[in-house]
Copies of this chain bind each other. A is one copy, B any other.
């Protein structure tokens, strides 16, 4: 019995823990060969498949895979056509799987990627193929429905909170009124922007304001609030979700007439809201302003990983193997929180169609009435997810990775 694993969508800092979780559990439970798809299902369709079993022999190599930035197997943003549009494609996929004696197919991804698991498992069902298809959750954006959180979110949140504390100290170093906007990822939900709220504590005054995608952006109100705060505090840090929108639904970053890159799921590149707000502040209030974009460091900073997140990412991988061997297919492993204090979380599974193409927004009651800060309930939710460290192996001064051959 062989298995195959793919990684899809944007990387997370712990996506390779899920990869090794699946791979090691499969071998323990009797798999002979573990295949990897290079560049997800898109690479699979081009025959980019390799036997990764030899690379799993050394336990040091496995630990290095876990500590390697970005998706070790490569990734894609590719939407399969439906079988009615191109049944030939599905025949090809299943022929390849059968040729390689693959019994289980694991796909590590978010709400878009689960579309692949859904379509393949439905087709398998239609043709009565015994091959099982399981989804393994990942997303820095934490926007999957029906799971307490997604592996990847905790480490991104930890990175954002740690860097925010540093930026707050940097911002206040000169005795000059100034505003720094910090642009944070999150296409349609403010989960990552909310994580900036974790910076506040005994030792840090925290971020002064959050601009969340869940709250329609009102320029006048925003300028008034900043003006008041700059007068009081001299310098400010504002966390800006890249996906903030005007009342009418247009993205703040979207200049009229400007062409935007879109991916195969039709998602637009949202980059630019932080810079936009910084220059609005400079023009309207005359205050010194700058924008810092946390950019893809949010998803690839394997030098700043939450131990809880890394552990759970591994666990959802092993749980997917266990579920597959028990006969589950077309399902996604999810996390169910039993308790926040002390934190306890277990794995469960749901049909993938419950998450495909859907976005879990930040609950509005976790946003304070001011609409620019998070409530205690959010902090109680998020804090357990950033606990503990899972540091890199440093060799000759640098975080060591492993390179796929």
Give me the interface of A with B, judged by CB distance under 8 Å: 11, 38-39, 42-43, 48, 64, 68-71, 74-77, 158, 161-163, 165-167, 169-170, 172-175, 198-199, 201-205, 261, 271, 288, 290, 292-293, 295-297, 299-304, 306, 383, 386-389, 391-392, 394, 396-403
Knowing A303-B166, A398-B161, say if A173 contacts B292 (CB, 8 Å): no
> Which 8 pairs between the two chains have the least Cβ-Cβ distance?
A70-B169, A386-B397, A69-B166, A170-B300, A69-B169, A39-B175, A166-B300, A387-B397
CB <8 Å contact, A399 and B165: yes
Copies per assembly: 2
CB <8 Å contact, A74 and B293: no
CB <8 Å contact, B71 and A173: yes
CB <8 Å contact, A169 and B300: yes
Contacts of A386 in B (CB 8 A): 397-398
Knowing A70-B173, A77-B174, say if A167 contacts B397 (CB, 8 Å): no
CB <8 Å contact, A167 and B296: yes
Q: What 6 additional pairs, Cβ within 8 angstroms, besides A70-B172, A386-B397?
A: A70-B170, A161-B397, A162-B303, A170-B299, A292-B295, A383-B397
Contacts of A70 in B (CB 8 A): 166, 169-170, 172-173
Q: Which of A43, A288, A299, A399 has the most CB of B within 10 A?
A: A399
Q: Can you sample 14 A-B contacts with CB below 8 Å?
A: A39-B175, A48-B175, A69-B170, A75-B174, A77-B174, A158-B397, A165-B398, A165-B399, A166-B297, A166-B302, A167-B297, A169-B300, A198-B398, A203-B403
8 Å CB contact of A170 from B170, B198, B296: B296
CB <8 Å contact, A162 and B399: yes
CB distance from A181 to the nearest CB of B (A): 12
Contacts of A162 in B (CB 8 A): 303, 392, 398-399
